Every structure is written in C-alpha cells, then in structure tokens.
Amino acid sequence: MSESAPDKLDRLAALLRDMGSVLVCYSGGIDSALVLAVATRELGHRAIGMTAVSPSLPASEKDDAARIARAIGADHRFVNSNEIARPGYVANAPDRCFHCKTELYDIAKAKQAEWDLAFVLNGTNADDLGDYRPGLDAADNARVRSPLLEVGMSKQDVRDAARILGMEVWDKPASACLSSRIPYGQSVTPERLAQVGGLEAELKSLGFRQIRARWHDTIARIEIDLAELPQLLAPGVRDQVVAAGKRHGFRYVTVDLGGYRTGSHNEVLVGRALRLV
C-alpha cells in the first residue's frame, strides 16, 4: 500500500524539525507555501520565507505571497532580485530558468548567512522530476534542499496536505514567472514582461482563474482552461479581452484552442516538452 498524504505530512514535519532552522525560497505557490507553513509550525521564528521581487513576478503573486504568509503566521521577507542583469537569462535560451534560479539561490545563500539559518529550501515536489526544469540544476549547484521531494510528496500529496492543515489555498492554480510567457530565443525585457503581466492582470480581473498570455511579438496568444473558454467567448467579454490586449501593445489577440497547459513554449524542444496538464 502506498504511503498516505497524512503519513508524508508527518515525515515532512519531522524532517523540518530536525533541520533546526531554515530559509524557504517562497514564491506564494502551493508547494513552497506548504513547506513554509509546516516549517513555521515546527520551527517558529527559526523559519523564514524569502520572496524574490523582480519584473518577472506578477503583482498579484507578490500580493498573494504576502497574504498567504500572514495567514500561516510566517516570518516573511521580500528581497530584490536582479536576474535581468544576467545575460543568460535575458538571452532566453531553454536553460533560462537555470540563470534565474542561480540568481535566486545566490541571494538565498547570502541571506542564509545573514539570518544565521542552517538550510535553504525550495518547493520542488516529486512530480517536477518528470519535467524539463533546468532550475533543478541550479538548486543542486547551490546545495538547496527539497523537503517535499525528500519525503516523496507529489503535487496531489501537497494539495491533500494543505487541506489537512486547513490552508485555503490548497487548490491554488499553478503559476510561473512572467518570463515563461516569452518564446525561447526572444529576449526577456522589462517591457515585454510588463506587457504580458498587465494583460494577464486584466484578464484575471474579468474572473478567469487559469489563464496565460503568451507573447509573440504583435500577437498575444491566450491559453485558458477549456472549462472557462465559453465565458471568454461570451458576448461583451470577448470584446473586453481584445481591448485589453491592444491596451498592452498587442495588435492581434488570439485564443489557443489547445487550452491552458504548463510550459507550452517547451513543446518546441524535442524530448524536453513538459507534460500537458
């Protein structure tokens, strides 16, 4: 019989308790939020959540990170990140995430020493190992620990554990930095990040829950959960979506009939495409 989510949650708590003190690289997503919640419960003020702020972080995710941290009673701190100064990040090759995460973990290691904490942690779960994620190499290089992975927690285990703990964000949709909206080979710039970030913010204000605005020069390619597609095409709403796209500098606003899926830009990489979820 496979181990249950409650059993894995107990092992996660024991693992974090044994660490003594931790810095959690905390994005506001459900994975790192669970790590921070359990670490706070087990270690109190010896657990600190660190969120890196840069043009690639959507404003809504920054707000969510602060709100969720308050709800779990965590010590939460924002720090500035400057991955946009790294040529490998701006070039936006398939290893872009390696350069982004290297910046994050360099900052985390400095703060770990400043705050006198024993370990730096991330929110990688067991399902992430099946994806093309060069950021995992950056974590290995920096000797960042992945407690969810160490206890064998899948994404579903994480959601189940968050429900057990009463975390209202247990079913929060997946999110990713705004640079993931720009196709490989097209430079990541603050202007392009602002374009997709601004458009997505307007789309979410219309009530859409799982939606992405992918940048293709003058074209915005909208990916949306197929269950929400009829709402987007409803009279009046479609016009608002088109108008929002044009306000943010896109000449054409299109809808991808394949619907929302993680890492759709990776579909051009032979042997490296993310799973469709």
Domain parsing of the chain, residue ranges: 5-164, 178-268
The whole-number average pLDDT for the span 54-72 is 95
- Domain spanning 5-164: CATH superfamily: HUPs (3.40.50.620)
The whole-number average pLDDT for the span 19-24 is 98
Supply the pLDDT for residue 176: 86
Supply the pLDDT for residue 275: 36
SS3 annotation, the chain: CCCCHHHHHHHHHHHHHHHCCEEEECCCCHHHHHHHHHHHHHHHHHEEEEEEECCCCCHHHHHHHHHHHHHCCCEEEEEECCHHHCHHHHHCCCCHHHHHHHHHHHHHHHHHHHHCCCEEECCCCHHHHHCCCCHHHHHHHHCCECHHHHCCCCHHHHHHHHHHCCCCCCCCCCCCCHHHHCCCCCCCCHHHHHHHHHHHHHHHHCCCCCEEEEEECCEEEEEECHHHHHHHCCCCHHHHHHHHHHHCCCCEEEECCCCCCCCHHHHHCCCCCCCCC
In percent, how much of the chain has pLDDT > 70?
93
The whole-number average pLDDT for the span 249-268 is 82
The whole-number average pLDDT for the span 150-154 is 96
For 178-268, which CATH class?
A: alpha beta
Q: Please indicate whether the domains covering 5-164 and 178-268 agree at the CATH topology level.
A: no
pLDDT band at 165 (very low <50, low <70, confident <90, very high): very high
Is residue 267 scored above 70 in pLDDT? no
pLDDT band at 273 (very low <50, low <70, confident <90, very high): very low
